[in-house]
Homo-oligomer: A and B are copies of this chain.
Amino acid sequence: MKLIEAIIKPFKLDEVKDALNEIGIEGITVSEVKGFGRQKGHTELYRGAEYVVDFIPKIKMEIAVSDELVSKVVETIQNIAKTGRIGDGKIFIIPLEEAVRIRTGEKGSDAI
């Protein structure tokens, strides 16, 4: 199993989620993060002072999948989340040793 972590642009969340559902992914965990990268932030004005907001709001998705699904999931995310402009984000693939469903105690691929 792998844990796929994808950093994407917030407004793509709904589309990506729907696409993953379509290819059979049933569970996703999402959090709001701030990204620093090549994409530059904006400036803000307050009482004559200008602040550069150097982080960009991003969405982090975590998806545990069995090995055979990895490439399909990565591909899907890539296709949908891509706008072609800087700041589209990253996908990281992390080895996952075990997964447990708390409700039933199921383990491994059954759990996800």
Which one, B17, B74, B81, B95, contacts A94 given CB within 8 A? B95
Contact partners of A30 in chain B: CB under 8 A: 33-36, 55
Q: Which residue of B lies closest to A71 (CB)?
A: B98
Interface positions of A from 4 to 50, Cβ below 8 Å from B:
5-8, 17, 26-38
How many residues of A are in contact with the other chain, CB < 8 A? 53
Question: Contact at B92–A98, with CB atoms within 8 Å?
Answer: yes
Which residue in chain B gives the minimum CB-CB distance to A98?
B93
Q: List 30 A-B contacts (CB under 8 A).
A: A2-B97, A6-B102, A27-B36, A27-B37, A28-B35, A28-B36, A28-B37, A29-B34, A29-B36, A29-B58, A29-B60, A31-B31, A31-B32, A31-B33, A74-B98, A74-B100, A78-B102, A81-B102, A85-B103, A88-B103, A89-B102, A90-B100, A91-B98, A91-B99, A91-B100, A92-B99, A93-B97, A94-B95, A94-B97, A95-B97
